[in-house]
């Protein structure tokens, strides 16, 4: 996959995470505002409803956890690849991405939640899906050495995390009340993702 397609895919994956995380965080916030605020026309209630659903700090934690799982999945995939090489079963390693990502995510969730209980609320199924998607986009297990596999996984996951934070920053700068009514919500997020992918094409030559 060339650099431009990889960058666009990472931006699209970041946008999907942004939308899914925002939807999950918006539902309880809207319900609580409906219970607590009696006057729906008040300015403060409108500000709460239009604020970004997921804080930037939570998105950063989600991106870091996704990057950790992606790197561990790349190491596990490379190890399995080398173990199956003498058996001439290299073609079957692609089917092991899903169980490897699920196992690595489960182990990472167990280890991190014992270290910090607040991480139990992280979107671990979405993190596992990110690991599978990035492993398919960047097949790090096919590299000849472990360092290259780990570097590919880290760079791809770092690009995903940066795209996720950049989309959140763009949404924060372009407040929904300042945008036309037709662009509020998902259309504005799609426009931001397109502009981000277009701007990142300048870095496509550095991605091989």
DSSP 139: -
pTM: 0.74
Residue that the structure tokens 């372009």 belong to = 174
Structural domain for 14, as ranges: 3-206
Taking alpha carbons only, the member of 94, 95, 91, 100 closest to residue 70 is 100
Question: What's CA 106's distance to the chain center, in Å?
Answer: 17
Q: What is the pLDDT along the chain (208 residues), one digit of tens a residue?
A: 566 678 788 888 888 888 888 766 544 443 444 444 444 444 433 333 344 456 788 888 999 999 999 999 988 888 888 887 777 655 556 677 888 899 999 999 999 988 888 888 888 999 999 999 998 888 766 677 888 888 888 998 998 998 888 888 887 777 666 667 777 777 777 877 877 777 777 666 555 4
Tally of structural domains, the chain: 1
């Amino acid at each position: 996959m060339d650099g431009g397609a990889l960058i666009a895919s990472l931006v699209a994956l970041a946008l999907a995470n942004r939308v899914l995380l925002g939807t999950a965080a918006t539902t309880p916030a809207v319900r609580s505002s409906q219970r607590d605020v009696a006057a729906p026309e008040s300015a403060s209630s409108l500000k709460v409803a239009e604020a970004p659903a997921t804080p930037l700090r939570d998105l950063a934690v989600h991106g870091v956890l996704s990057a950790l799982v992606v790197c561990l999945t790349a190491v596990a995939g490379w190890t399995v690849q080398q173990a199956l090489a003498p058996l001439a079963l290299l073609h079957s390693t692609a089917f092991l991405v899903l169980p490897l990502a699920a196992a690595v995510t489960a182990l990472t969730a167990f280890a991190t939640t014992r270290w910090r209980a607040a991480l139990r609320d992280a979107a671990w199924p979405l993190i596992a899906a990110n690991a599978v998607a990035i492993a398919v986009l960047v097949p790090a297990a096919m590299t000849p050495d472990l360092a290259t596999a780990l570097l590919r996984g880290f760079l791809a996951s770092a690009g995903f995390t940066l795209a996720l934070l950049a989309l959140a920053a763009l949404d924060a700068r372009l407040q929904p009340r300042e945008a036309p009514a037709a662009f509020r919500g998902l259309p504005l997020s799609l426009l931001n993702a397109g502009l981000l992918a277009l701007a990142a094409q300048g870095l496509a030559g550095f991605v091989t």
